[in-house]
Amino acid sequence: MPKEGIDIPEFTQSDKNRLIKMKQESPIKTVKCLMDDYKLSHHESKYITKHINETYGKCNRCNFDKLDRENLICPKCGALNLNWITDDTD
């Protein structure tokens, strides 16, 4: 999907929950985790970390707040949003 040619792995819901929480604590730790645990390059890891939404449904770049699914391009600004739904049962 991204123009940059980066493939977003199929993360499990548990992985998504873990990465969202980790990014809130430390984006640098998230990049390192993606590199170590998922064997992604530094470039891929930074890209994925940058596009994990802070808040579900809200674009990280322009704050458009009507995003309604995962892995979509914001209709307002054109930014990729992973827009993962959190499952607090983990």
- CA dist 8 and 80 (Å) reads 11
Q: Which helix (H) or strand (E) holds 81?
A: strand 80-81
Q: What is the pLDDT of residues 49-71, one digit of tens each?
A: 999 998 999 999 999 999 999 99
Strand partners, 80: 73
Q: What is the pLDDT of residues 30-54, one digit of tens each?
A: 999 999 999 999 999 999 999 999 8
